[in-house]
Amino acid sequence: MPKSHNSQSIGPRVTRKIVGSLQFVHERLRLRAKEEGRTRDQLTAAATNLPTIPFPSLAFKPQDPDPSVDTKFHVFTTSVFAVLGHYARKRPPNNLSPAQRCGLREIRDLCAAGKIKISTSDKGGEFVIMSRELDMAITRYHLEDDRTYVPSSAAEFREHYRWLNRVWVETARSAGIPKNTITRLKNDLPVCPVLYTLIKTHKPPTSGLVSSDPKDYKVRPIISGIGGPTDRISWLLNIILAQLLKHVPAHLSNTNMFLEHLRNARLVRECVIESFDVTSLYTNVPNDAALQAIFELLTEYQGSLRLYGFNIRQLMTLLAECLSCSIFRWAGQYYKQIRGLAMGQRLAPTLAIVFMSKVEKPLLQRKPLLYCRYIDDCCIVCPTQTEMDTCFNLLNQQFPHIQFTREKPRDNWLAFLNVQVYLAHGEYKTRWYRKPSSKNILIHYLSAHPIKTKRSVIGNMYRTAAKLTSSTEERIWSVNMAHEIAKSNGYPIRECSPRLAHRRSRLTDGSEKIPFCLPFISDEVSNAVRRSLRQAGLQDDVRVVDIPPPNLKRHLVRNRAYDRICTTPGCVICPHGKDGDCMISGTIYLITCQACGDEYIGETGRPLCVRIKEHLDGLSKSKTATPLGTHRRLCHENSEIQIGVTILSREPEIIARRTLEAFWITAKSPKMNRKDECIAITKELALYQNLCGF
């Protein structure tokens, strides 16, 4: 199952993660102690009105020692070290059978050999396995739609993102955004977004899923913009624009809102209910109309919105530039989307929801008994069938490319979102609903997750099943369905109980506590670490966050399988690793002199090729201020030398990365490194050196 996680033991990789997390906690505890000692006026002056930025920082300033914090931290780290030493000898039971492990290796080998491509389906969430040739043929056929996609180039991509960065810097400066925030949200060398497709297994070819004709398959195109040109700027824009959604009359944010609207509807005896669905909403949204809808709502409600210093004109400028930066790559070829919104773009859902408010405005003026919408799924109740037909035709007349399909009740039951509604003679009842396309995949009982997480998943399912029902009869029906789903995911009978729905979680809010991210080994280990927190007196300041190991989806699905390519001229990184390593951000790297074997260890939060380019510049010019330039002068009498670069470890968080860099340097003693260029390893963390396996 895609959501299943394999168990892991306490080894070097896990210990390194723990060391990085410990250093993060130590720095945050010192910072918090420092802030508690400052006056309220000092804190107010230092605070920013912008939300917390989720992207890794490139700057790191070690905090000054604090005797009280350091004493508690010493107790905590010493205790955690003892826990790791004790449980390292107890290997947790493997949750995969020998046959399953063998099958997993075979599948990974087939993927690595380029024989098969594994993805997940569009709605069901199950794995889809097909030949690589068929997968490429399906995507290639999809890209032949010249109304939506046109060829582009790497040069055009660079031109677009450089222009976007220029506009962002100028606009943000004029809005008074802090300089460090401007820099942090500007991506100087973004990753090119890539296209991948999800097969709609709920709409299979007439000849079945064995068809080899790419035209037979329906797909959902996803353009992954993670790390792309618009990713960071869109994050801020989306925070601002999401405030508009509460002003879209028909918008639903969840099923509870729908049930509330249904309860408040004034139903009549002859009323009828249907659901409407927009065909391919995202790719058919006219960008100009979406921008106009955003502008109108911003203008109308700007007094109640938090714009973080921007005015409406500036927001519209940034929004238009983000939408125009629509170049992506597939199989090494560049394309540009010229129509609609790209699914996978941060702004797409918000823009689609606001745009739909323009489409449905004429319908709302007719005042149906009920009309509400979740993105592109609409539920409508009208007093007569004639009025229902009129509303349906009216919606289809608003925009040429926005067309609706309709679904009528079967035996008076209509499915909408995850609820079924029975409507007859002006009375209604509801029950929980699961689409036939859903494979009901939950976290498997044998998955390497904390038991409280598994119970929470099952409890939430039972709660949902009970909450969405309107009568005892329907509640029994819904709970029985939840019972079968739990059993199909491996949960024993004792765990498949509706009583789990009534268990209350602890009321204490740990959101203000510093997270200590602990790779999940077992509940026994996690509980022992929590006891260590209490022993150190840090339970009110720090919370343990269990991080499960990568699941099967992470192991098997590669959305960038066709686009992990090296684009760096004369690359000295990828030949010593994998294609595309040069564009990885957040790494600890090793530079090796090919002439004498001397080494240098460093770290960077930027794409690795950017940092290595700086090293190569110092080498070529024999700059004595650089480690490679000094090495060339002193060891090779200024003769030309070649280098090779390998990635030692990946770590997005700068505090953890700098700590692990110091560990690597201490362990390997590279001759090109200077002694003062890495942070000092504290005596508390020095205990972990041998466990890290450097």
CB 513 within 8 A of CB 541: yes
CB 228 within 8 A of CB 362: no
Residues 640 and 583 in one domain: yes
Residues 661 and 518 in one domain: no
- What residue has token string 């044998």? 446
Angstrom distance (rounded) from CA 666 to CA 566: 31
Sequence letter at residue 576: H
Angstrom distance (rounded) from CA 324 to CA 160: 8
Residues 613 and 532 in one domain: no
Angle between helices 608-620 and 627-636 (to 10 degrees): 40
Residues 70 and 163 in one domain: no
pLDDT > 90 in the chain, percent: 76
In a domain, 272, yes or no: no
Going 256 to 257 to 258 to 260, the CA torsion angle's sign is positive
CATH number at residue 664: 3.40.1440.10
- What's the mean pLDDT in 345-355? 96
Q: What is the pLDDT of residues 408-418, one digit of tens each?
A: 999 999 999 99
Q: At residue 501, does pLDDT exceed 60?
A: no
Q: At residue 47, does pLDDT exceed 50?
A: no
Terminal alpha carbon distance of the chain: 34
Name the domain boundary from 301, 328, 353. 353
What per-residue confidence (pLDDT) applies to 40? 54
Nearest to 474 by CA among 446, 444, 433, 437: 433
Buried b / exposed e across 307-336, counting CB within 10 Å, b at 16+?
ebebeeebbbbbbebbbebbbbbbeeebbb
- What's the mean pLDDT in 494-509? 56
The confidence band for 62, taking pLDDT boundaries of 50, 70 and 90, is: confident
Strand-pair partners of 222: 196
What per-residue confidence (pLDDT) applies to 112? 87
Please tell me the least confidently modeled range out of 59-63, 461-465, 572-576: 59-63
What per-residue confidence (pLDDT) applies to 41? 53
Q: At residue 2, does pLDDT exceed 80?
A: no
Angstrom distance (rounded) from CA 523 to CA 520: 8
What per-residue confidence (pLDDT) applies to 3? 60
Angle between helices 654-668 and 12-36 (to 10 degrees): 130
Q: At residue 122, does pLDDT exceed 90?
A: no
- What's the mean pLDDT in 523-540? 96
In a domain, 471, yes or no: no
Question: How many other C-beta atoms can be found within 10 angstroms of the C-beta atom of residue 232?
Answer: 20
Residues 83 and 166 in one domain: no
Angstrom distance (rounded) from CA 278 to CA 359: 11
In a domain, 597, yes or no: yes
What per-residue confidence (pLDDT) applies to 510? 61
- What residue has token string 């031109």? 159
Strand-pair partners of 414: 421
Residues 604 and 662 in one domain: yes
Q: Where does residue 537 fall: left (phi above 0), alpha (psi -120 to 50 degrees), or beta otherwise?
A: left
Greater confidence (97 vs 352) lies with 352
Residues 191 and 323 in one domain: yes
Question: How many other C-beta atoms can be found within 10 angstroms of the C-beta atom of residue 529?
Answer: 20
Q: What is the pLDDT of residues 544-601, one digit of tens each?
A: 999 998 888 888 898 888 888 888 889 999 999 999 999 999 999 999 999 999 999 9
The confidence band for 59, taking pLDDT boundaries of 50, 70 and 90, is: confident
Please tell me the least confidently modeled range out of 21-30, 51-60, 479-488, 531-540: 51-60
- What's the mean pLDDT in 74-99? 89
Q: What does the angle CA 178 – CA 180 – CA 181 come to, to the nearest 5 degrees?
A: 65
CB 601 within 8 A of CB 658: no
What per-residue confidence (pLDDT) applies to 348? 96
Residues 70 and 154 in one domain: no
What per-residue confidence (pLDDT) applies to 507? 40
Residues in the chain: 694
Residues 635 and 686 in one domain: yes
CB 485 within 8 A of CB 465: no
What per-residue confidence (pLDDT) applies to 505? 47
The confidence band for 160, taking pLDDT boundaries of 50, 70 and 90, is: very high
Angstrom distance (rounded) from CA 575 to CA 569: 12
What per-residue confidence (pLDDT) applies to 35? 86
Residues 175 and 321 in one domain: yes
CB 540 within 8 A of CB 29: no
Q: At residue 502, does pLDDT exceed 90?
A: no
Name the domain boundary from 353, 376, 395. 353
In a domain, 420, yes or no: no
CB 143 within 8 A of CB 214: no
Sequence letter at residue 546: D
Buried b / exposed e across 631-670, counting CB within 10 Å, b at 16+?
bbeeeeeeeebebebebbbebebbbbbbbbbbbbbeeeeb
Name the domain boundary from 295, 327, 353. 353
Whole-angstrom CA distances from 588 to 1, 368, 598 are 33, 61, 17
Residues 173 and 307 in one domain: yes
Residues 539 and 655 in one domain: no
Count of structural domains within the chain: 3
Greater confidence (158 vs 436) lies with 158
Please tell me the least confidently modeled range out of 47-61, 183-197, 271-285: 47-61
Please tell me the least confidently modeled range out of 2-11, 581-590, 676-685: 2-11
Range of the domain at 585: 574-692
Taking the CA atoms of residue 569, residue 168, residue 187 and residue 197 in that order, the dihedral angle to the nearest 10 degrees is -90
In a domain, 359, yes or no: no
Residues 6+ apart with CB under 8 A from 173: 182
- What's the mean pLDDT in 107-136? 90
Q: At residue 46, does pLDDT exceed 50?
A: no
Whole-number average pLDDT of the chain:
91
The confidence band for 381, taking pLDDT boundaries of 50, 70 and 90, is: very high
In a domain, 375, yes or no: no
In a domain, 345, yes or no: yes
CB 368 within 8 A of CB 381: yes
- What residue has token string 């098969």? 116
In a domain, 70, yes or no: yes
